[in-house]
Structure formats: C-alpha cells, structure tokens
C-alpha cells in the first residue's frame, strides 16, 4: 500500500509539473502577444500624433461698460473739455482656434486663427448695412481670415550640450509676462508685457543657460519687421510697374526691430526677467515736409520684471497661493537730424512702474482676486497697442491706472471660466494708443473707466 501511494504521488507530481509548465508557456505566449499588440498601437498613435494637427478652442464672450470724462482735452481743433462719452452695453465675442503639430522629433508648428468683434458691429470697420459682422460669414464676398500666430520651432542641443532653439514666423508675443494675471491665463507669453504686447513677424534664436548660469536662465534674440515700405503696386498704379518696390525718401522705409529678452533667474518661486528692444527707422515727423515719416530715428525700450509665486515656504494655503509682482521699464526715442519723435527734436525718455498681486478668493476652487497699479511719465511709449482691452493699453498710461479683477471657474468647471474686472485710468498726457512716435504727448486731463465681465470656454 505504501509503495502504491508513493507511485501515485510521483505520477501526480509529474502531471502537475507538466501542467504548470504548460500554463507558464501559455502565459508567456500571451504576454508576448500583448506586447506585440501594444507596440503596434504605440506605432499607430505616434504616427497619428505626428501626422495630424491638434486643434484647441478659446472662446470668450464679454460685456463692457465704459466711460470717458474729458476734464481738459482738445483734439484736432475741437475742445472736448467738460464733456463725457461712454457705452454702457458693449458686447463682444472673441474666438481663437489654436493649432499645433509635431511631424518629427525636435520640430513643432504652432498657429492661431483669430476673430474678435462687437455684437452687431460692421465688418472691416465700415458702417455699411451690407457689411454687418454677423452676416459677413454667410456672404460670398467675405474672404477675410486673420492669422494671429503662425511659426515653427526647432529645438536641439550643441555638441557641448547647450540646448538651443530657433523659430521663424508670427510670434506669440501678446499676453506676456505679468499680463497673464489680468487676462486669466495660467501661463504667460514669451516677451515682457510691460514693453511688448503686439503680434510680431520675426525670427528667434534661444539659448538655454540654466546648466551653466543661474537656475532657469535663458536668452532669446528676435529680429523682425513691424512695417514694410514696399507698396503693392500694379501695372496701372501711378503710371508704372513696380510691385513691392520701395520708393526713395524716408516716408516708405522699413521699420525693423531687435529684441533681446530672457530669464535671469527662475526657481519656480522667484522669477526675474529682462527685455531690451531697439526699433530702427521708427515713425515720427519730417520737419522739412511736415509729413509723417517712417525713418525718423531709433527707439530703445527696456524692462526688468519680478514675480514671487507663494509668499514664504509652506506657511499656509493662503500665502502659498499668493503671487506678488513688480516691473520697471524705460523708453527712449532718439530722432535723427531733420526729424522729430514724440513732438521733439531731442532725445526723450519715459518711465513706467507696474506692481500688483493676486490672492485666493476664498470662495471658489482656484479662484483668484488681483489688484494692479501702473504709472507712466509724459514720454512713456511702449509697444503695447495690441493689449486686449476696449480702452486700449492701460500698461502704456501716461498717468496712473488702477485695476481690480476676479478670475474664477464657473460651476467648478475647469474648461469654463469667468472674470469680473474694473479698470480706472487717469491720463495726464495724450493717451498712447499705438506706439505713435509722431504724436506729441501734450498735457491733458482724461478719466477713463471700464467694467468688464466675461465667460470663457477653453478646450
């Protein structure tokens, strides 16, 4: 009996061992099959990711209440002193259609199509009943599409390990560093919004210096063109044939710019950025012809901006979510002989300060309340005329500006946000609406205020 039991155990063990071995082989084969299928899926996903353009949407509808009080102001011979104007119900819709693709490693393309107009407004700004903005897209005569951004970026590293990138196209140069807070954007654009907030066409080279200098440090050089003197002439224009030719004389010179900017230091909590810009052949006035000239001199703009994200080191939730920021900027316009800039034949210097903070609203998740202050001197003239505000650029105010805003998620949804914002401006000198080197900043007294509320969808 003992011998039979031993024989049975040996046979059972052999059978069990064979079954276990077979099961292990089947599991191994199944694992190999799963790995092969995953590799195929990864290949398809990588191909699709590189073979397609990814689209995202930024859609915003806003309501504005604006008011202007002209305490002391004359314009083109008309004295507006003691009058007021405004609009208590200005509604507008803005749409950004964002594009991004990466056909290969190290190379990406980014683009943005934009539409921004007031409710019931006119297409192209013409007060023609047949060109109403809300009907233009349904008519065969409408072929206008605005390109706000379109550029590629190639990123790599030199043989010594220094990372670099270069790019060509229409740059993402609006809502830059510090302006992102008031616009409700989590991330800031590339330039410093204190002196640059407008789309630019140019070429960029970037060097990442964080491994060799301070934490997060980098430098960028951007060279571009703000105005071309090359007119589109046809065979019948002015009795000649000269497509895109530049006429002699300073009224049709190219206006180019060179910008150097970058991070001095950025460790995630403390961030310091700088920017220097030179504008060549900037616009002014020819003293001989008294005409507006695009070859009147050179302008230099400089800014240094600081941001502290989180006060202290894990003190409490309120201070951890508090952000402080400040910026100082300077502009200098140097006219050439026979010309004037900002109504002067001398080199004129302007200054500006910008300070503010954001704090948790203590009511909603991720909601922020912000306060900002700006001050600019008489000759303060930055390149900020593309700033998203119906009153123009409050950063370029020649006087004082005060602003308060509340950014929050609607119904707790991260893709649906809202903002309520109040802006007050006291203009002590002629308002700077578009970096106008040919306009003399004269003494004025204008009060302007704007209450804005918007709802914004992003996906």
How many CA atoms are closer than 13 Å to the CA of 118, on its beta-carbon side? Answer: 13
CA 314 to chain centre: 31
Tokens encoding 21: 């071995």
Q: Identify the pLDDT of residue 254.
A: 87
Give the span between the Cα atoms of 303 and 328, in whole angstroms. 6
State yes or no: pLDDT of 176 exceeds 90: yes
Torsion of CA 194, 197, 203, 208, to 10 degrees: 40
* Residues 429-433, mean pLDDT to the nearest whole number: 89
Q: Identify the pLDDT of residue 45.
A: 58
Q: Identify the pLDDT of residue 50.
A: 61
3-state DSSP assignment of residue 318? helix
State yes or no: pLDDT of 166 exceeds 80: yes
State yes or no: pLDDT of 17 exceeds 60: no
Q: How confident is the model at residue 93 (pLDDT cuts 50, 70, 90)?
A: very high
Q: Identify the pLDDT of residue 294.
A: 77
Lowest-pLDDT range of 11-15, 145-149, 297-301: 11-15
- In the chain, what are the helix, strand and coil shares in percent, each to the nearest 5? 15, 50, 35
Q: Identify the pLDDT of residue 291.
A: 83
Give the span between the Cα atoms of 381 and 396, in whole angstroms. 6
State yes or no: pLDDT of 2 exceeds 50: no
Residues shown for the chain: 459
Average model confidence (pLDDT) across the chain: 87
Q: Identify the pLDDT of residue 139.
A: 63
Tokens encoding 421: 């914002």
How many CA atoms are closer than 13 Å to the CA of 275, on its beta-carbon side? Answer: 28
Q: Any alpha helices (H) in 131-247, and if so which ranges?
A: 133-136, 179-182
Q: Identify the pLDDT of residue 234.
A: 60
Q: Identify the pLDDT of residue 10.
A: 42
Yes or no: say if 308 and 269 are a contact pair by the CB < 8 Å rule. Answer: yes
Q: Which one has a higher pLDDT value, 18 or 217?
A: 217
Phi and psi angles of residue 134, each rounded to the nearest 5 degrees, phi first: -75, -10
* Residues 151-166, mean pLDDT to the nearest whole number: 93
Q: Identify the pLDDT of residue 433.
A: 78
3-state DSSP assignment of residue 365? coil
Using one digit for the tens of pLDDT, what is the confidence trace for 307-343? 999 987 777 889 999 999 999 999 999 999 999 999 9
Give the span between the Cα atoms of 338 and 248, in whole angstroms. 16
Closest among 10, 8, 183 to 96, alpha carbons compared: 183
Q: Which helix (H) or strand (E) holds 41?
A: helix 2-51
Using one digit for the tens of pLDDT, what is the confidence trace for 21-34? 777 777 777 877 77
How many CA atoms are closer than 13 Å to the CA of 277, on its beta-carbon side? Answer: 30
Q: Identify the pLDDT of residue 436.
A: 75
State yes or no: pLDDT of 15 exceeds 60: no
CB-based burial label for 172 (10 Å; 0-12, 13-18, 19+): buried
Give the span between the Cα atoms of 380 and 276, in whole angstroms. 15
Using one digit for the tens of pLDDT, what is the confidence trace for 209-264? 999 999 999 999 999 998 887 776 665 656 667 777 777 666 678 899 999 999 99
Tokens encoding 219: 């430098």
State yes or no: pLDDT of 428 exceeds 60: yes
């Amino acid at each position: 009996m003992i011998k039979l039991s031993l024989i049975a155990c040996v046979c059972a063990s052999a059978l069990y061992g064979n079954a276990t071995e077979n099961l292990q082989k089947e599991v191994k084969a199944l694992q190999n099959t799963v790995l092969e299928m995953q590799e195929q899926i990864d290949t398809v996903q990588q191909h699709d990711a590189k073979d397609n353009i990814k689209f995202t949407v930024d859609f915003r509808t806003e309501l504005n209440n604006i008011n202007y009080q002209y305490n002391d102001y004359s314009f083109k011979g008309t004295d507006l002193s003691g009058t007021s104007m405004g609009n208590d119900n200005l509604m507008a819709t803005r749409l950004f259609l964002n594009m991004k693709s990466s056909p290969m490693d190290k190379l990406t393309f980014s683009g943005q199509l934009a539409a921004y107009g007031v409710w019931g407004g006119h297409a192209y700004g013409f007060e023609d009943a047949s060109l109403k903005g809300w009907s233009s897209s349904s008519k065969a005569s409408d072929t206008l599409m605005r390109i706000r951004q379109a550029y590629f970026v190639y990123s790599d590293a030199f043989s010594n390990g220094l990372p670099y990138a270069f790019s060509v196209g229409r740059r993402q140069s609006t809502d830059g560093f510090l302006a992102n807070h008031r616009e409700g954007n989590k991330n800031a654009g590339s330039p410093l919004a204190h002196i640059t907030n407008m789309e630019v066409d140019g070429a960029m080279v970037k060097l990442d210096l964080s491994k060799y200098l301070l934490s997060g440090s980098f430098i960028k050089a951007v060279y571009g063109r703000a105005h071309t003197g090359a007119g589109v002439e046809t065979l019948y224009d002015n009795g000649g044939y000269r497509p895109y030719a530049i006429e002699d004389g300073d009224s049709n010179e190219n206006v180019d710019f060179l910008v150097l900017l970058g991070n001095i230091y950025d460790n995630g909590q403390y961030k310091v950025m700088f920017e220097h810009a030179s504008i060549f052949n900037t616009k002014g006035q020819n003293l001989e012809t008294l005409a507006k000239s695009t070859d009147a001199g050179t302008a230099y703009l400089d800014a240094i901006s600081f941001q502290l994200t989180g006060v202290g080191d894990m003190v409490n939730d309120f201070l951890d979510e508090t952000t402080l920021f400040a910026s100082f900027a300077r502009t200098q316009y140097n006219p050439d002989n026979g010309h004037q800039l900002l109504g002067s034949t001398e080199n004129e210097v302007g200054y500006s300060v910008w300070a503010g903070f954001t704090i948790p609203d203590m009511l909603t998740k991720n909601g922020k309340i912000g306060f900002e202050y700006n001050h600019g001197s008489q000759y303060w003239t930055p390149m900020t005329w593309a700033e998203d505000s119906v009153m123009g650029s409050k950063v370029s105010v020649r006087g004082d500006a005060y602003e308060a805003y509340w950014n929050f998620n609607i119904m707790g949804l991260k893709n649906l946000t809202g903002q309520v914002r109040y802006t007050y401006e006291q203009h002590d000198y002629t308002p700077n609406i578009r970096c106008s080197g040919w306009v003399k900043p004269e003494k004025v007294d204008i009060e302007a205020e704007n209450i804005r509320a918007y709802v914004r969808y992003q996906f």
